[in-house]
């Protein structure tokens, strides 16, 4: 073992499940991952998965902490093995890799191979093609459950939340688990781990042994939000836009807990979809909730949304404070409406094809300084378009905070400049400064240096 950063010198693991029966052609494609830029991406994602329960939320910091980490693909006639060198020790028990982490490692391999040897996500420009591509990734991950009623609750919220808020997410998850709900989150810590942990206890009491705890991530964020140990279905989407679409089309209802800019991005993404005229008749339960200590947080979010997008936006969501049981009852009642609607219209229970998603919410936004400065943040724009642009602004700040590309941009060129209508910029700056004051930008104990400047 290495004493500087506790590591395991060498370990070889064999695939399980669907990765054990591979053709020689499939093995060859996987071996191609062991070269060039795709290999480096695979290595980073593997390190993030192995770095479970990490205290860092900075992709660059994670890489620098384990500079000698490496992984090699070893072809075998009955599949493929992976050889690790200098892997984080917390992923092992008595020298053997933890079973759930091992499964997640092969999920990484599966998704990276599919996305970078069979398809080129960057070439997708048509809305229909993007939606189909998202479906294909989810189908390959085997997260769909045939023959059961809709029951998948997506939980959004920050990885940097306090102990009271974390306990509340567990309480809500417990109530959901008692009612047979499966959970889908961004797979990280905080508000992504709590609901899964609570639901797992609820499932145990109800003797549910095949519950789904789905973690959706993407290469740019996985180091900052390494998969938590409860996740039993890990899926890596190619970018944040496809990750968000996967959440919305896979889930049957969404609960939002306290968070920071990433959570604000998710809220605006969903509002941009639900406010679309073609989606007004499609039931989609959307609840924002937290303990009484977080009431001001949701008041700030609500006031910002109403100012930017109009009071009518509040019809799309419900805010419930300090009542986990009511949250679970209401979201499950909403999911009953989802089931009735889909049954009546003979549409899929397991993938929401019917939702209309504007291309501005589907095409990747690259947070360069030029793109951030050029965002059209003006109150006279159509509400859906403004919600999309605000989503991009928050997405850029997330990148500057924790993603390798964004962190490097900030180091090279300074902070992002965000500008628009004076009143809107004042409201936006107030909200962002509140996130900083409440320590929602970074994990507790981490010093936060703003990566943005709101120009007023």
HEC readout, 238-249? CCHHHHHHHHHH
CATH architecture, domain 134-456: 3-Layer(aba) Sandwich (3.40)
- Considering the entire predicted model, what is its pTM? 0.91
Rounded to the nearest angstrom, the gap between the alpha carbon of residue 293 and the centroid of all alpha carbons in its chain is: 25
CATH class of domain segment(s) 7-118: alpha beta
286 - beta bridge partners? Answer: 254
Confidence of residue 445 (pLDDT cuts 50, 70, 90): low
pLDDT tens digits, one per residue of 222-268:
877 788 889 999 999 999 999 999 999 999 999 999 999 999 999 99
List of long-range contacts for 41-45, beta carbons under 8 Å, 24+ apart:
41/112, 41/116, 41/219, 42/71, 42/108, 42/109, 42/112, 43/69, 43/70, 43/71, 44/219, 44/222, 44/223, 44/404, 45/108, 45/112, 45/219, 45/222, 45/236
Question: Can you give the residue ranges of every domain in the chain?
Answer: 7-118, 134-456
Confidence of residue 55 (pLDDT cuts 50, 70, 90): low
pLDDT tens digits, one per residue of 198-215:
999 999 999 999 999 999
- Residues 381 and 145: their CA atoms lie apart, in Å, by 41
User: Could you give the count of Cα atoms lying within 13 Å of 114 in the half-sphere of its Cβ?
Assistant: 20
The pLDDT, as a whole number, for residue 179 is: 98
């Amino acid at each position: 073992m290495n004493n500087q950063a506790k590591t395991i010198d060498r370990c070889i693991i064999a695939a399980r499940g669907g990765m054990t029966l591979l053709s020689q052609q499939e093995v060859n494609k996987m071996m191609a991952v062991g070269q060039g830029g795709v290999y480096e991406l695979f290595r980073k994602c593997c390190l993030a998965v192995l770095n479970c329960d990490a205290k860092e939320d900075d992709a660059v910091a994670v890489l620098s902490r384990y500079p000698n980490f490496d992984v090699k693909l070893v072809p075998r006639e009955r599949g493929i093995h992976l050889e690790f060198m200098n892997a984080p020790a917390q992923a092992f028990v008595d020298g053997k890799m933890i079973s759930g982490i091992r499964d997640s490692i092969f999920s990484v391999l599966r998704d990276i191979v599919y996305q970078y040897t069979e398809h080129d996500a960057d070439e997708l420009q048509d809305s229909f093609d993007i939606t189909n591509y998202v479906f294909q990734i989810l189908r390959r991950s085997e997260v769909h459950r045939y023959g059961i009623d809709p029951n998948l609750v997506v939980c959004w919220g920050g990885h940097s939340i306090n102990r009271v808020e974390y306990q509340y997410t567990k309480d809500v998850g417990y109530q959901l688990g008692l009612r047979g709900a499966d959970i889908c989150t961004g797979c990280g810590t905080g508000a992504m781990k709590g609901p899964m942990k609570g639901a797992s206890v609820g499932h145990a009491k109800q003797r549910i042994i095949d519950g789904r705890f789905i973690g959706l991530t993407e290469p740019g964020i996985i180091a900052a939000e390494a998969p938590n140990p409860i996740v039993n279905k890990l899926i890596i989407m190619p970018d944040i836009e496809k990750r968000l679409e996967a959440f919305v089309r896979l889930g049957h209802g969404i609960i939002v807990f306290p968070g920071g800019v990433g959570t604000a991005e998710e809220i605006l993404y969903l509002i941009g979809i639900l406010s679309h005229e073609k989606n007004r008749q499609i039931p989609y339960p959307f609840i924002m909730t937290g303990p009484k200590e977080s009431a001001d947080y949701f008041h700030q979010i609500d006031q910002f949304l109403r100012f930017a997008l109009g009071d009518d936006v509040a019809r799309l969501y419900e805010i419930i404070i300090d009542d986990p049981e009511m949250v679970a009852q209401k979201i499950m009642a909403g999911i009953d409406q989802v089931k009735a609607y889909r049954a009546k219209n003979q549409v899929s229970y397991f993938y929401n094809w019917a939702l209309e998603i504007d291309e501005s919410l589907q095409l990747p936004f690259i947070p360069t300084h030029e793109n951030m400065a050029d965002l059209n943040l003006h109150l006279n724009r159509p509400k859906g378009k403004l919600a999309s642009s605000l989503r991009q602004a928050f997405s850029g700040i997330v990148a500057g905070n924790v993603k390798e590309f964004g962190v490097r941009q900030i180091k090279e060129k300074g902070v992002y400049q965000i500008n628009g209508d004076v009143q809107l910029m004042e409201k936006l700056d107030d909200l962002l400064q509140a996130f900083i004051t409440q320590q929602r930008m970074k994990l507790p104990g981490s010093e936060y240096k703003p990566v943005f400047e709101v120009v007023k």
